[in-house]
Amino acid sequence: MSQEFLDLPQLVSAAGSVRLPGSKSISNRVLLLAALADGVTEVRDLLASDDTERMLDALKTLGVGVEALGGEAWKITGCAGRFPVKQAELFLGNAGTAFRPLTAALALAGGDYVLKGVARMHERPIGDLVDGLRQLGADVTYLGNDGYPPLQLRPASIQPGGVVKVRGDVSSQFLTGLLMALPLTGETVAVDVVGELISKPYIEITLATMARFGVIVERDGWQRFTVRAGSRYVSPGTVYVEGDASSASYFLALGAIGGGPLRVEGVGRDSIQGDVKFAEALAQMGAVIETGPNWMEAKAPAGGLVAVDLDCNHIPDAAMTLATAALFAQGTTTLRNIASWRVKETDRIAAMATELRKLGAGVEEGADFIRITPSTVKPAAIDTYDDHRMAMCFSLAAFATPLRINDPKCVAKTFPDYFERFATVTRAAPVIAIDGPSASGKGTVAARVAAALGFAYLDSGALYRLTALAAQRAGVAWTDEAAVAAIAARLDVVFTESDIRLDGVPVGDAIRTEAMSSGASQVAALPAVREALLFRQRAFNTAPGLVGDGRDMGSVIFPRAPLKVFLTASAEARAERRYKQLIDKGFSANLADLLSDLRQRDERDSQRSVAPLRQEADARLLDTTHLTIEQAVKQVLDWATEALQ
């Protein structure tokens, strides 16, 4: 898994409007049926994502005419049920919506094919679909474990007509795959569903899409589906793919938590996707929902969200969004009938439980349910398990706390620019970044500005000083990068109103000595130490706002800070201030030594290769050589009034 991460500040509000990317479920169904159809289909608003790319690549390999028209439009020249390439090996990544239907279509198409995916795809069951295909006479071999991909498909004589039994209680994609492939047999075939059919709305999408391409499935409730002999797919000309209703869930939840109104465009009342019912679930939590034919909008309720106890069988994917929305609901939320979560991109019940617990929530999980009780949320680094929905769901938690999302690029499976859109409709708790050299007075100014605005205050230099102190106490040399970084990562510090506690004990002035100033400057030059302290600093970015002081607040830690100040003073003025400070605290001091030490530290802080001290292009310069503290504070507050509007 990639080591990349995305740090989210705490959010204060969400509102605006988002045009959704195309539905994954509809996109891949439309592509396959367009490929199997007679005629040319122009597919518009197709989802651009990993899963659709896997399908497009597979179709190209099979000899189907696939042409990009630009702007999410594609021209597919159908093969009228006969793929030109009769022998191929296909790699389908982790795309279930490509793997299952292609398995069915290729098993009945009369060629020699191997279908493979990523390791997780090889852990996702496909036995029920294969059993159904074998009843029709298909020749399918498991190349790995029985019941799981990879698969080998060989030409076989498909038996005429009859009834196929398929289980419906593990994944509805088996029934979807079978139904879409049945016209290839040329016979009348009935499919009987064994067991309770889950995720019924996805079958509705399948039937609606097949109808669009001219094949009407006769149905007897949710028990029996019949495709008549002579059914064949015919291109409808142009097909527009609806916006993705599952993707809509994140933005609707953001509106419900963060105020709103937040509108999603591309899916609404007239949608064929079952996940639009997510809006009803959110309304049960108290959200104010409005819908139009192809849009939906959510607002927060006056009294806040409330917990629900819900059967989520009809919205398996969007229900994940309810799990993180539950962090903001009063009471305990129970999501039931979600066993299918366990066989998705990851075991989503286990993954959801583990990550919600990291944030401090109380979680109970069972074979087919999850129960969430919110509590005080704490910053955490969230793992995403190569599961796009985990990454998107946990972005909501940023309303409770700053957090880190590991491997955020996994959203590419269905929503490559999710976090960019997320940023356009949310407002983060603002940061005032104050950087400058030692003893410039930035600490005093920053603390007073924070108090005046009611913001949190981060003395980032203290973290380097504490690291130096903890290293010294542990007998670790300040030059031992790996060992000091390990200490920085584990640093047990608590900042309170009156003091700083290291390992539970107030440190007092022990971090303010000249020795610790020098130690801090040395450990701060070590890249691994800076990396270890990165998220710890960003975790201070809470509502209603933060004032941070240091050397790299504006350049590295909070590059998006709406106000950056470079606060400095002449070396002589700074040495004199430090001299007075030390004398006041009862330390002995020598002005000339202080001046030379200060120059040495300035040199090290500004010449080091990582995060050197420098004035950012977008930082405002505040030279305090001839200013009182009050004057400096007033200047920063004036700038803040302007910048934080």
Name residues contacting ligand DC, limited to 541-600 (CB under 6 A).
550-552
CB of 552 to ligand DC, least distance (A): 5
Active site includes 317? yes
Q: What is the three-class DSSP state of 317? A: coil
Question: What is the Cα–Cα distance from 185 to 158, expressed in whole angstroms?
Answer: 7
Please state the φ and ψ torsions of residue 540, each to the nearest 5 degrees.
Answer: -80, -10
Which x/- pattern over 447-486 shows residues binding ligand DC (rule: CB under 6 A)? Answer: -------------xx--xx---------------------
Q: What is the 3-state secondary structure (H, E, C) of 163-190?
A: EEEEECCCCHHHHHHHHHHHHHHCCCEE
CB of 521 to ligand DC, least distance (A): 3
Q: Which is nearer to ligand DC, 396 or 446 (CB)?
A: 446
Q: Which is nearer to ligand DC, 285 or 469 (CB)?
A: 469
521 binds ligand DC (CB under 6 A): yes
Q: Which stretch binds ligand DC (CB under 6 A): 208-216, 360-368, 423-431, 517-525?
A: 517-525
CB of 125 to ligand DC, least distance (A): 51
Among 210, 215, 320, 524, indicate the residue that binds ligand DC (CB under 6 A).
Answer: 524
Among 271, 321, 438, 624, indicate the residue that binds ligand DC (CB under 6 A).
Answer: 438
Classify each residue of 427-463 as buried b or exposed e, where b means 16 or more C-beta atoms within 10 Å of its C-beta: bbbbbbbbbbbbbbbbbbbbebbbeebebbbbbbbbb
Contact criterion met (CB below 8 Å) for 75 and 99: no
Q: Which is nearer to ligand DC, 464 or 639 (CB)?
A: 464
Contact criterion met (CB below 8 Å) for 547 and 458: yes
Q: What is the 3-state secondary structure (H, E, C) of 553-569?
A: HHHHHCCCCCEEEEEEC
* Catalytic entry in 317, 387, 549, 602: 317
CB of 636 to ligand DC, least distance (A): 17
Q: Which is nearer to ligand DC, 414 or 460 (CB)?
A: 460
Half-sphere exposure for 131 (CA within 13 Å, toward CB):
17
Contact criterion met (CB below 8 Å) for 312 and 284: no
CB of 442 to ligand DC, least distance (A): 7
Rg (CA), the chain: 30
Q: How deeply is 303 buried, as exposed, middle or buried, from its count of CB atoms within 10 A (0-12, 13-18, 19+)?
A: exposed
CB of 57 to ligand DC, least distance (A): 46
Name residues contacting ligand DC, limited to 290-309 (CB under 6 A).
none
Amino acid at the residue 294? N
Please state the φ and ψ torsions of residue 368, each to the nearest 5 degrees.
Answer: -135, 25
Among 605, 622, 635, 639, indicate the residue that binds ligand DC (CB under 6 A).
Answer: 605
Q: Which stretch binds ligand DC (CB under 6 A): 192-200, 264-272, 299-307, 519-527?
A: 519-527
* Helix, strand, coil in percent for the chain, rounding step 5: 40, 25, 35
Which x/- pattern over 13-52 shows residues binding ligand DC (rule: CB under 6 A)? Answer: ----------------------------------------
CB of 404 to ligand DC, least distance (A): 19
Which H or E element spans position 89? strand 87-91
Among 307, 487, 601, 627, indicate the residue that binds ligand DC (CB under 6 A).
Answer: 601
**Residues that are catalytic:** 317
Residues that bind ligand DC (CB under 6 A): 438, 460-461, 464-465, 517, 520-521, 524, 550-552, 601, 605
